[in-house]
Structure formats: C-alpha cells, structure tokens
Structure 1
C-alpha cells in the first residue's frame, strides 16, 4: 500500500474506521488487527469502487464487512467471543484509543447489540442521513428512524443496568 493512497484515501476516514473496529472488538490487540485488515481490504478493493456512492460510504461498507467477517471467523473457529450475557465491562487500555471511560461504557453497551444494530447505531452516531444508513446497510429507509429510537432505548437500559 502506498503512502499516498493511505494518506489521501484512508487517513481522512480513520476516525470512522476506528469507531467501527472498536464496536466489534474488546481488546487493543484485536482492535489493531481489525484496523490493519480494514485498511488492507480498502486498498485491495479500491479497483472495485465504481463511484455509485461516495468514497466515505464505500470505506464504511468495507470496514463494516471486514469487521463482521473477522468476527464470524473468530466465532466459527471456536474462539470465545462475547455473548450478550458475558460481555466485559472494561476493555484493555494500552493507549489513548481506549482511555475515555464514558466512551468505553458506550462501546460496551453497543457490543450488547446485534451486529446489524451495532452498524446502524454507528452510522447514526456518524451523523449519516437515514438515506445513507439505508444505502450502507442495504435496507429500506422507512424503518431506520424507528429502529434507531429502539436501539437508543436499549442502550440507555444497558448503560443504566451495568454502570449505575
């Protein structure tokens, strides 16, 4: 991967990639592996970008698909990953990416959601429009608002139960 491609096509979207990777990992090691794999897959798939959506939507789709694939691969290999009953209340803190306690609590709560609901709420937190969210997730725009409200209520309940 060239430095120019990384600097112009990935680095401007690093915050989005980081958020997606954090939502699907609970340790610094896994986070770094996922982030690296996402960047590699964006580079590998760059020729498949046809301009039918924005580059940021493309990056989001690739990042989400890579994280879901890695998560499923871990599960299928018998690695113990989170079930909604046994999620950790803390994440490994080795650098600034996991240092904000309130943000960590939000990510712990987000990990209690289904894979699709995680993706949906992350897009919402990125301030994507309902149309953009529907486009990334390949769903109907009509039910996005209702689902977001239900997810927000579930997150409030999870945070209140686990941290208050």
Structure 2
C-alpha cells in the first residue's frame, strides 16, 4: 500500500473506519487488527470502486463487510497483514478509542444489537441521511426509518439499565 493511497483515500475517512471498528471490537489489539484489515481491503478493492457513489459510501460498505466477516469467522488475518505507512497522527479523529467512559457505555450498548442494527445505528450516528444509509445497506429509506426508531428504543433500554 502506498503512502499516497493511505494519505488520500484512507486517512480522510479514518473517523468512519475507527467508529465501525470500535463497535465490533472489545480490545485495542482487535481494534488494530480490524482497522488494518479494512485498510488492506480498501486498497485491494480500489479498482472495484466504480464511482457510482461517494468514496465515503464505499468506505462504509467495505468497513462494515470486513468487520462482519471477521466477526463471523472469528479469525484475524495476520498472514495477509500489510505494513501501513507511518503518517503522523494517522488515528487523529480519536487517538485512543477506548478511554471516554460515556462513549464506552454507548459502544457497549451498540455491541448488544444484532449486526444489521449495529451497522445502521453507526451510519445514523455519523449523520448520514436515511437515503444514504439505505444505499449503503441495500434497504429502503422507509425501512431504515422504522429500524432506527426501534434501535433507539432498544439502546435507551440498554443504557437506562446500564447494560448487562
């Protein structure tokens, strides 16, 4: 992976990748593995990006698919690891994603959700429109609206009970 690709196509979207990885991992080590695998898959799949949507949509889709795939197989792909170029402040959006207590509670609640709901609420929290979320998830905008209402209710219940 070239430093130029990382700087131009990954670093500006690191916040997206970090938030998605954070929702699907429990440890810093897993977080780093997921982040690295997403970067690798973005680089490997760059020629498949047709430009029919925004690059950020592609980043969301790849990130979610990688996390769900790693979660399902419970395997870390260490033999296919690639060295990411050293770029100062590469994880700037949230240098240590496991420290803020209230955020930690929110992510703990999000982790209790089914995979599809988890992906939808992450996109919603990123302030994507229902249409954008629908495009990324392959659902209708109306369906997204209904799901978000139900997810918010479930998260409120989990947070009010301080998560179990």
TM-score grouping bracket, smaller chain normalisation: 0.7 to 0.9
What is the correspondence of 1:122-137 to structure 2 with a 5 Å cutoff? 122-137=122-137
Q: Report what 2:18 is aligned to.
A: 18
Q: Report what 2:52 is aligned to.
A: 52
What is the correspondence of 1:27-46 to structure 2 with a 5 Å cutoff? 27-46=27-46
Give runs of ≥4 in structure 1 deviating > 6 Å.
Answer: none
Q: What's the offset of the Cα at 1:27? A: 0.7
Q: TM-score, normalised by structure 2?
A: 0.85
Q: What's the offset of the Cα at 1:140? A: 1.2
**Match of 2:161, SS?**
helix
RCO comparison, higher one (Cα < 8 Å, 6+): 2
Cα distance in 2 between the residues matched to 1:48 and 1:23: 26
Q: What's the offset of the Cα at 1:142? A: 1.4
Q: What's the offset of the Cα at 1:22? A: 0.6
Q: Report what 1:83 is aligned to.
A: none
Q: TM-score, normalised by structure 1?
A: 0.85
RMSD of aligned Cα (Å): 1.2
Q: Report what 1:138 is aligned to.
A: 138
**Match of 2:74, SS?**
helix
Cα distance in 2 between the residues matched to 1:141 and 1:160: 28
Aligned pairs, how many? 144
Cα distance in 2 between the residues matched to 1:160 and 1:97: 23
Q: Report what 1:120 is aligned to.
A: 120
What is the correspondence of 1:58-69 to structure 2 with a 5 Å cutoff? 58-69=58-69
Q: What's the offset of the Cα at 1:96? A: 2.1
Unaligned runs of 5+ in 1: 76-94
Q: Report what 1:3 is aligned to.
A: 3
Cα distance in 1 between the residues matched to 2:121 and 2:27: 21
Q: Report what 2:107 is aligned to.
A: 107
Q: What's the offset of the Cα at 1:143? A: 1.6
